Amino acid sequence: MTDSEYEQTERTRIFRKPGRGSYDRELVHSILDEALTCHVGFIQDGQPFVVPTIHARVEDTLFLHGARGNRTFNVLGDGVPCCVTVTLVDELVLARAALHHSLNYRSVMVLGRAHEVTDPGEKGEALRAVVEHIAPGRAEEVRGPDETDLKSTKVLSMEIEEASAKVRTGPPADEEKDLDLPNWAGRLPLTQGTGDPVTAPDLAEDLPVPKSVRGWARP
């Protein structure tokens, strides 16, 4: 591992289309930060599970949080090997041949073990990072976790030790023999937008929509 790259290991070496692979730390971080949620995979009693959940990254650590009785977090908290993936789908790639249809995407896979965060200060910071991951600026606008919140919530930290990114960009890759076919080919960019904020029906008073909501966007 260097300052700018994660070490390419036997487990993270990209065999298929290696040109799309990267171990660049900034790229890995940017994909993790832009993705709202991740999927965490682990094996319990021989059965693989892949669970969608919210993550937050602080430097080289991922934080996950869940209710104390949560099965996934209880299993992961024991330090069992796990795998976190995130995927950003940027464009549809529409080829002349059905076979060559694809997606332009950015994805990351992180391998490691998660451990429970028990220090109240570190736990509070991790929960703050989770809120900030979803809506930057939101942590300043709301009540922070109190003692009861901290007790009822389990926070896991996972060091990003092994990580890879895989990115596809560019036009469809049709075969030479198909280039003259009378079928349209190209890319359809996808965007992530927001609708109008919907005020909670039990809001205590008529409050303005705060900055973190008005200006919400992914990094």
Ligand X SMILES: Cc1cc2nc3c(=O)[nH]c(=O)nc-3n(C[C@H](O)[C@H](O)[C@H](O)COP(=O)(O)OP(=O)(O)OC[C@H]3O[C@@H](n4cnc5c(N)ncnc54)[C@H](O)[C@@H]3O)c2cc1C
* Closest approach of ligand X to the CB of residue 152, in Å: 11
Beta-bridged to residue 150, according to DSSP, are none
Whether the Cβ atoms of residue 131 and residue 138 lie closer than 8 Å to each other: yes
Judged by CB under 6 A, the stretch of 19-27, 48-56, 118-126, 183-191 that binds ligand X is 48-56
Number of C-beta neighbours around residue 179 at 10 A:
9
**Which position among 14, 54, 58, 94 is part of the footprint of ligand X (CB under 6 A)?**
54
Secondary structure of residue 194 in the 3-state scheme: coil
- Report the site for ligand X in 20-39 (rule: CB under 6 A): 37
**Which position among 8, 70, 87, 102 is part of the footprint of ligand X (CB under 6 A)?**
70
- Report the site for ligand X in 72-91 (rule: CB under 6 A): 72
Q: Is 190 left (phi over 0), alpha (psi -120 to 50) or beta?
A: beta
Q: What are 70's two structure tokens?
A: 């949560």
Q: Which is nearer to ligand X, 95 or 160 (CB)?
A: 160
Whether the Cβ atoms of residue 216 and residue 131 lie closer than 8 Å to each other: no
**Which position among 31, 51, 111, 117 is part of the footprint of ligand X (CB under 6 A)?**
51
Whether the Cβ atoms of residue 21 and residue 27 lie closer than 8 Å to each other: no
Phi, psi of 216 (to 5 degrees): -60, 130
CB neighbour list of residue 180: distance below 8 Å, 6 or more residues apart? none
* Closest approach of ligand X to the CB of residue 119, in Å: 20
Note whether 157 binds ligand X by CB under 6 A.
Answer: no
The total number of residues shown for the chain amounts to: 219
Note whether 218 binds ligand X by CB under 6 A.
Answer: no
Judged by CB under 6 A, the stretch of 52-60, 162-170, 189-197, 198-206 that binds ligand X is 52-60
Note whether 66 binds ligand X by CB under 6 A.
Answer: yes
DSSP 99: G
* Closest approach of ligand X to the CB of residue 1, in Å: 28
* Closest approach of ligand X to the CB of residue 65, in Å: 6
Note whether 68 binds ligand X by CB under 6 A.
Answer: no
Chain residues binding ligand X by CB under 6 A are 37, 49, 51-54, 65-67, 70-72
